[in-house]
């Protein structure tokens, strides 16, 4: 081999390595750290929602495909434009949907995870990361009271609550099917396998039923009581009727905090019914399960330990950056038999030791998986459970405070008393307030007027950038909905938000 061949064989063509010099690395890291630090120190003063319109961000920074690299300074300026044109869930007056701020330790943990770029398929792919994830799953199970010294739990982290719910429903369906559906297909199983939940259930459950090939119609909605909790007598009645009519009930999904109002279904009573009918009990605690950390709310979750599976979202109420969902289950073998796959050489595990043979692909649909556990692990270790629990309790207390302020005001109407950290209410101008509930038959007309007024108020408030509320329909009425899962919110923010709503009403 000539000298020339050797050079060609060993050296990369100029510019093809993506490594950068140490000086460039230091520059990149100090500039990015500065940007992150600035963001965390400014987020409370930024407009919650940007003054923007569709296409404006790309209009500012351009969309041409970069064939050659660009200077760091320009890229960071464009990142600042992206930040300017973002909605800020970390703002203390962001109350929409279920979206919490990320903590700085959680954000930096994501940087470490991406730096390692572990592909968390199995212990062999990520020995340390697998051990951290299994540890974190154990912590989460014990935090919400799903496991203790006598009861163990298993599980895995997911992209979020929707994926955790889908995974749970698949395991439940396979566990309760009388044929090997995974091999033969749904059409060979007994028809009409049905799942039960309240009419307040999150959309991820009917979506999961659809994805599983059951169809949304197989989700039987049971009515809820005056506090929006599943009516257990109706559940019992519906199950008995459906059995008589040849359906095959296989699963009940109880809500551990509904998305609309934060209602927690009577978990213990539902567990009793699930047991009587031999059904899988799944609890969707994506929003609410971590509220069990608030001592004053813990009793609402009595019976959670009787569930076959539970979903919860650290990215909602543990203030961990997205994507951090979790599915817990009691029976590891059931989950494994739903997902494990024989006959693919590329996933053959050669280890003998059970810990080393562990593979997440046996418990869920994903093969390539991020190292999600690090941000949960670092957040919990940095703050400690006591401090996080205090923040969750404070969120619940703030929702209760909002409820009290609304009730005491002459120009607001409370539509749901907060069970956890969600409060639904509407603005009612004093002139209409006196006519509401007078029984003179005009309530429906007034409601229609109030629906329109409060829709306008929500739009004006969202666009105004000083606070952000979303909406819910409460017994047919349009409600302004505030969900507080935010460690920056104070009572002053609540007072200010009510004032902002009043100003929006005047502007209408």
Ligand X SMILES: Cc1ncc(COP(=O)(O)O)c(C=O)c1O
Question: Which residues contact ligand X by CB under 6 A?
Answer: 98, 160-162, 202, 204, 259, 284, 286-287, 313, 325
User: 130 vs 158, which CB is nearer to ligand X?
Assistant: 158
Q: Are 262 and 422 in contact (CB under 8 A)?
A: yes
Least distance in angstroms from the C-beta of 307 to ligand X: 15
DSSP 197: E
Least distance in angstroms from the C-beta of 198 to ligand X: 11
User: 266 vs 325, which CB is nearer to ligand X?
Assistant: 325
User: 206 vs 249, which CB is nearer to ligand X?
Assistant: 206
As a whole number of angstroms, the distance between CA 20 and CA 455 comes to 52
Least distance in angstroms from the C-beta of 357 to ligand X: 30
Q: Are 341 and 76 in contact (CB under 8 A)?
A: no
How much is the CA Rg of the chain, to the nearest whole Å?
A: 26
CB atoms within 10 A of CB 341: 11
User: 133 vs 413, which CB is nearer to ligand X?
Assistant: 133
As a whole number of angstroms, the distance between CA 98 and CA 106 comes to 18
User: 308 vs 313, which CB is nearer to ligand X?
Assistant: 313
* Peptide bond preceding 245 in cis form (omega within 30 of 0): no
Please compute, for residue 41, the number of CA atoms within 13 A of its CA located in the half-sphere on the CB side. 6
Least distance in angstroms from the C-beta of 171 to ligand X: 17
Least distance in angstroms from the C-beta of 290 to ligand X: 12
Least distance in angstroms from the C-beta of 106 to ligand X: 15
Which residues, in sequence order, are CB contacts of 102 under 8 Å at separation 6+?
90, 319, 320, 321, 322
Q: Which of 202, 196, 305 is nearest to 261 (CA)?
A: 202
Please compute, for residue 314, the number of CA atoms within 13 A of its CA located in the half-sphere on the CB side. 33
Least distance in angstroms from the C-beta of 205 to ligand X: 8
User: 323 vs 451, which CB is nearer to ligand X?
Assistant: 323
User: 207 vs 302, which CB is nearer to ligand X?
Assistant: 207
DSSP 291: G
Instruction: State the sign of the Cα–Cα–Cα–Cα dihedral 236, 242, 245, 249.
Output: negative
């Amino acid at each position: 081999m000539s000298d020339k061949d050797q050079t060609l064989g060993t050296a990369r063509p100029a510019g093809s390595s993506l490594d950068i010099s140490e000086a460039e690395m230091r520059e990149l890291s100090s500039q990015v750290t500065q940007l992150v630090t600035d963001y965390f120190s400014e987020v409370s003063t930024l407009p919650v929602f940007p003054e923007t319109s569709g296409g404006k961000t790309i209009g500012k920074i351009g969309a041409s495909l970069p064939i050659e690299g660009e200077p760091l300074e320009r890229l960071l300026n464009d990142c600042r434009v992206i930040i300017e044109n973002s909605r800020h869930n970390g703002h203390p007056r962001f109350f929409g949907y279920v979206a919490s701020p990320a903590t700085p330790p959680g954000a930096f943990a994501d940087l470490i995870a991406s730096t390692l770029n572990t592909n968390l398929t199995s212990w062999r792919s990520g020995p340390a990361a697998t051990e951290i994830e299994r540890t974190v799953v154990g912590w989460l199970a014990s935090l919400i009271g799903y496991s203790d010294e006598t009861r163990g739990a298993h599980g895995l982290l997911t992209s979020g609550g929707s994926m955790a719910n889908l995974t749970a429903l698949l395991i439940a369906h396979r566990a309760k099917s009388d044929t090997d559906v995974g091999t033969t297909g749904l059409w060979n199983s007994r028809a009409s396998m049905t799942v039960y939940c309240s009419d307040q259930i999150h959309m991820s459950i009917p979506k999961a039923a659809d994805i599983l090939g059951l169809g949304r119609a197989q989700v039987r909605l049971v009515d809820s009581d005056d506090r929006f909790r599943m009516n257990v007598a109706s559940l019992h009645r519906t199950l008995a009727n459906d059995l008589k009519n040849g359906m095959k009930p296989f699963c009940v999904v109880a809500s551990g905090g509904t998305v609309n109002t934060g209602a927690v279904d009577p978990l213990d009573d539902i567990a009793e019914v699930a047991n009587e009918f031999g059904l899988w009990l799944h609890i969707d605690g994506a929003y609410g399960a971590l509220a069990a950390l608030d001592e004053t709310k813990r009793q609402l979750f009595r019976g959670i330990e009787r569930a076959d599976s539970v979903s919860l979202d650290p990215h909602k109420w543990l203030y961990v950056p997205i994507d951090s969902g979790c599915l817990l289950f009691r029976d590891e073998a059931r989950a494994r038999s739903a997902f494990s796959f024989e006959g693919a050489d590329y996933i053959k595990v050669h280890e003998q030791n059970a810990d080393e043979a562990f593979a997440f692909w046996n418990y869920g649909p994903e093969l390539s998986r991020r190292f999600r556990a690090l941000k949960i692990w670092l957040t919990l270790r940095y703050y400690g459970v006591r401090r996080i629990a205090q923040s969750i309790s404070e969120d619940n207390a703030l929702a209760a405070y909002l409820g009290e302020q609304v009730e005491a005001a002459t120009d607001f109407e409370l539509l749901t008393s907060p069970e956890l950290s969600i409060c639904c209410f509407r603005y009612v101008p004093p002139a209409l307030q006196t006519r509401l509930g007078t029984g003179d038959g005009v309530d429906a007309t007034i409601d229609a007027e109030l629906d329109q007024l409060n829709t306008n108020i929500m739009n004006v408030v969202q666009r105004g950038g000083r606070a952000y509320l979303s909406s819910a329909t409460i017994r047919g009425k349009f409600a302004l909905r505030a969900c507080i899962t935010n460690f920056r919110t104070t009572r002053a923010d609540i007072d200010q938000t009510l004032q902002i709503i009043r100003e929006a009403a005047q502007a209408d």
